[in-house]
């Protein structure tokens, strides 16, 4: 099992400092952003622009994710245990049951296979 990591990335550092506004301004305009395996536990990530961000295997325990649009982000293997998710959008390949299992029990998110 992977443990949450402190990533060596200036964008990750901004999120760890609760500076979502600076993250949104400094993020690249095009292309994916690799934040896989990152430790986002307890952070307030409301207003985060999560478009094309790779959050594979990330930890969001008790994070505030209200209103975040994850539709174009990768959340495979992420855990959102006890996170606040009201108004958040999730990728269409994540079932509601999968999301609830992760919020309630900390299971890792698994995408539906087609």
Three-state SS across 20-65? HHHHHHHCCCCCCEECCCEECCCCECCCCCCCCEECCCCECCCCEC
Residue 114's pLDDT is: 56
Tens of pLDDT, residue by residue over 14-72, are: 999 999 999 999 999 888 999 999 999 999 999 999 999 999 999 999 999 999 999 99
Question: For the chain, what are the domain ranges?
Answer: 1-114
Sign of the Cα pseudo-torsion (114, 32, 83, 40, in order):
positive
* Global pTM value: 0.92
């Amino acid at each position: 099992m992977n443990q949450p990591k402190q990533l060596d990335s200036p964008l990750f550092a901004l999120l760890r400092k609760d500076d979502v506004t600076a993250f949104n301004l400094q993020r690249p305009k095009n292309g994916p952003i690799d934040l896989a395996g990152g430790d986002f536990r307890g952070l307030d990530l409301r207003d985060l622009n999560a478009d094309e961000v790779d959050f594979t295997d990330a930890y969001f325990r008790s994070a505030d994710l209200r209103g975040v649009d994850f539709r174009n982000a990768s959340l495979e293997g992420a855990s959102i245990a006890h996170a606040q998710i009201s108004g958040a959008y999730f990728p269409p390949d994540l079932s509601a049951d999968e999301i609830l299992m992760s919020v309630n029990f900390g299971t890792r998110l698994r995408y539906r296979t087609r």
